[in-house]
Amino acid sequence: MCVTLERAVVVGASLAGVRACETLRHEGFEGEIICIGDENHVPYDRPPLSKKFLSGEWDADRISLRRPEAIAELGVRWKRGTKAVQLNTDSRMISLENGDDVSYDGLIIATGGTVRRLPNQPDIAGVHVLRTLDQATALRDDLREGSNLVVIGAGFIGLEAAATAAQRGVNVTVLEGLDAPLVRALGPDMGSAVAAVHGRNGVVIRCSVKVALIVGEEKVTGVELSDGEVVPADAVLVGIGVSPSTDWLEGSGLTLSDGVVCDESLCAGPANVFAAGDVVRWPNTLFTDIEPLMRVEHWTNAAEQGAMAARNLLAVSKGEPTTPYAAVPFFWSDQFDARIQFLGRTTTDSHAEVVAGDVASGKFCAMYVTNNRLTGVLGVSMPKLVMPSRALLSVHTSPDDARAWFADKVASA
């Protein structure tokens, strides 16, 4: 099906959204591009929010995704400070919170995710979430040397913020409801091994605890656990994950299930609607044997999908075939002096095996086996082993072949 494309609209001034705008232009699209974003800031990079920006080493200008002149050269019409609230795919119309309506010929959805909140989370001073620049600024202002920060949730964002705060002289306690940190991403054994770097640097991580409520009237004073214990807090960071931002798509006719469900080419159903980044669930053909539909909340995925969604939108406008997006997920995390890198995917059935270094030293590499094949590689301060292993994950590599490959790399190092 050929789509007439004179106006392309990107909803979400995120990394995926910016990459989509750039790709449209760089691939020769000369029509109008409109990018809608709910923040007033110019597009910025999110990973530094829990690290360099939170520490105070970088300012807001340092985390901008592109220089002002590079943004201007794209010729994009930016609609900042308002969010999309409704999509009508029949009339090809987007309704905005400020009352405006925006029509489109082609649409790329890149609205990312929204932070989850505790059911009874109070709106008082000192209680924070961390997703946006404004939220990072507010948290940074509350991190004073000698103060007490309680982080609820031992995922990557929570642990990165915990490490940054501890390096600023803050007393940090992390509370996790599961029996180990990073369980969902790495499994209990490797999650505990990675999080051990925090124990060596004075951060207290308490697992298998349930938060009852956040204590305080006008300002937070502590976090009460289910057994009645109150953990003192001058500031609290709630880091319990994000949900895909799809509320505005209810009633649009798109398939919504923990994200916008797309096909292999990131098409959301109508031939002129694509999606990219944290908001997408799609069949990643490299891993459909262990996960039929995948949603990935990582920087690399957002950047690559933003570009691919734009290319495929241009392809359908020319009546050309689209290209499937199949990739090995990759993320990294800096915590204290440890560089944590992970390639691939795990499930609750995955088995982790250390193939280089040792856990006790805090420098090691582990492979994950699922359905009798290699599906993931974790490295802690071992970049020379992790990144080359991406080729093994692009095909179905047996456990024995993977072990032999790692043994050869270690021997030749």
Q: What's the CA gap between 21 and 16, in Å, rounded? A: 9
Q: What is the CA radius of gyration of the chain?
A: 22
Superfamily for domain range 7-114+242-317 = FAD/NAD(P)-binding domain (3.50.50.60)
Architecture in CATH of 337-412: 2-Layer Sandwich (3.30)
> Structural domain boundaries of the chain?
7-114+242-317, 117-238, 337-412
Total number of residues shown for the chain: 413
Second CATH level (architecture) for the domain 117-238: 3-Layer(bba) Sandwich (3.50)
Q: Residue 283 CB: number of other CB atoms within 10 A?
A: 18
At 167, is the secondary structure helix, strand, or coil? helix
How wide is the angle at C-alpha 339 spanned by C-alphas 338 and 340, nearest 5°? 105
CA distance 325 to 304: 9
State pTM to two decimals: 0.95
337-412 shares the fold of 7-114+242-317: no
Region of 212 (left: φ > 0; alpha: ψ -120 to 50; beta: rest) is: alpha
Instruction: Give the three-state DSSP class for 52.
Output: helix
Alpha helices in 12-149 (DSSP H): 15-26, 52-55, 68-73, 133-142
331 beta partners: 342
DSSP letters for 331-363 = EEEEETTEEEEEEE---TT-EEEEEEEEGGGTE
pLDDT tens-digit profile, the chain (413 residues): 677 999 999 999 999 999 999 999 999 999 999 999 999 998 999 999 999 999 999 999 999 999 889 999 999 999 999 999 999 999 999 999 999 999 999 999 999 999 999 999 999 999 999 999 999 999 999 999 999 999 999 999 999 999 999 999 999 999 999 999 999 899 999 999 988 999 999 999 999 999 999 999 999 999 999 999 999 999 999 999 999 999 999 999 999 999 999 999 999 999 999 999 999 999 999 999 999 999 999 999 999 999 999 999 999 999 999 999 999 999 999 899 999 999 999 999 999 999 999 998 889 999 999 999 999 999 999 988 999 999 999 999 999 999 999 999 999 87
Angle at 295 between CA 206 and CA 64, to 5 degrees: 80
- The residue written with tokens 């459909």 in the block is 288
Q: Are strands 351-358 and 363-370 parallel, antiparallel or unpaired?
A: antiparallel
